[in-house]
Amino acid sequence: TATPPRILQIGRLPLPALEAELAARYRVTCLADQADPAAFLALHGAEFTGVVTTAAIGVKGEVVAALPHLQVISSFGVGFDALDIDAAKARGVPVGYTPGVLNDCVADMAFALMLDVSRNIAASDRFVRRGEWPKARFAQGSRVSGKRLGIVGMGRIGQAVVDRASGFRMEVGYHNRRPAEGCTLPYFESLTALAQWADYLVLTVAGGAGTRHLVNGDVLNALGPKGYLINVARGSVVDEAALIAALTERRIAGAGLDVFENEPTVPTALMALDNVVLTPHTASATHETRRAMADLVLENLESFFATGAVRTPVPGTPGA
Ligand code: 8YV
């Protein structure tokens, strides 16, 4: 039997099981484990035909350049803003990712954050644990049901959020670069206009240069003192300094944030605010969804080495 392909794993994967499964099938080396990654690449780059990474870790163009025999990239996650797609395309390297399987859990998390920040779940948990219930009143929350939900980025995840909104009898509108095909919901060409209309602005848009700081101070002012921002997309989509100012000055009511500009660092200013709910980029982190993502990472590699094509290629990459 042929020797298994050599795979460069860029960083630690969120699933130990996936690391074990990869190691059972391929000859895997983790770049992050090397004392001097650049020196390692210079010495051993030519030995690798595959790369495995995550949407959060990504793969830089300089790493692609250091792998002259690279044939395939398989990434854990649906976002591809941290992958140097242009470098892969220029080399004709197919890039697999894991769309679809995480829509439900990310949409569930958007609602969990909406409900938490509106009904003060985490804040009241802290209140109870501090032993304050017998001594003090707890502030009232805001009703979620029947409110207006503004979705920024009407893709697969945005649609899954819409599906959940009907049980809450919410009115839904959305902003996108252009109207989404087949979507009959009210379309707002202007994000500021959507923010003005909405009680909740939910970000489900792709990251990257095209959406960087899309949500700025003007958008937050339009959202207003009764409006909430929910981000399950990318930290880069929000001007975090403007968000901190808006929250601190109560120009918006609150925020539910799963993603941040400089992960895993969360600004201490956000931690000090009771009207903010913070989660550590875990919207897809359920046993079921992470297993399905891991299966797709393995399947994309397996499919490539068997047929020359990954099963779920990133749009615009070879084979897509
Ligand atoms: C992943 C993500 O959990 O899919 C994405 O784009 O950001 C997350 O689902 C993350 O990449 C895992 O490291």
Instruction: Tell me, yes or no, if 287 is annotated catalytic.
Output: no
d(CA 207, CA 233): 7
Lining ligand 1 with CB less than 6 A are 14, 54-56, 76-79, 102, 284
Please report the sign of the dihedral spanned by the C-alpha atoms of residue 88, residue 92, residue 98, residue 103. positive
Task: Report residue 130 CA to chain centroid gap.
Answer: 33
- 121 CA to centre of ligand 1 in angstroms: 25
Quick: pLDDT tens for 210-260: 999 999 999 999 999 999 999 999 999 999 999 999 999 999 999 999 999
Q: Average pLDDT, stretch 249-273?
A: 98
Q: Kindly list the distances between the CA atom of residue 200 and the CA atoms of 42, 167, 242, in Å, as whole numbers in the listed order.
A: 49, 16, 17
CATH class in words for 6-99+287-307: alpha beta
Q: Within 166-286, where are the H helices?
A: 191-197, 217-223, 240-248, 268-271
Q: Average pLDDT, stretch 16-25?
A: 98
* Residue-averaged pLDDT of the chain: 98
Quick: pLDDT tens for 31-65: 999 999 999 999 999 999 999 999 999 999 999 99
Instruction: Tell me, yes or no, if 234 is annotated catalytic.
Output: yes
**Which of the listed residues 9, 54, 260 should we mutate to test ligand 1's pocket, taking the one with most ligand atoms within 8 A of CB?**
54
CATH number of 103-278: 3.40.50.720
In angstroms, how far apart are the furthest CA atoms of the chain? Answer: 72
Say which of 132, 249, 263, 288 is annotated catalytic. 263
The complex scores an ipTM of 0.97
Per-residue confidence band for 125, with pLDDT thresholds at 50, 70 and 90: very high
Dihedral of the alpha carbons of 290, 291, 293, 297, in degrees to the nearest 10? 130
Specify the DSSP class assigned to residue 260: -
Is it true that 6-99+287-307 and 103-278 share their CATH fold?
yes
pTM (two decimals):
0.97
Instruction: Tell me, yes or no, if 281 is annotated catalytic.
Output: yes
Per DSSP (E only), the strands in 31-163 are 50-54, 72-76, 95-96, 148-152
Task: List the 95-96 sheet strands across, edge first.
Answer: 27-30, 6-9, 50-54, 72-76, 95-96
d(CA 305, CA 194): 46
End-to-end CA distance of the chain: 31
Q: Average pLDDT, stretch 105-119?
A: 98
Domain segments of the chain as ranges = 6-99+287-307, 103-278
Check residue 245 and give left, alpha or beta (phi > 0: left; psi -120 to 50: alpha).
Answer: alpha
Q: Kindly list the distances between the CA atom of residue 84 and the CA atoms of 80, 81, 87, 205, in Å, as whole numbers in the listed order.
A: 8, 8, 5, 19
**Tokens describing residue 131:** 């032993």
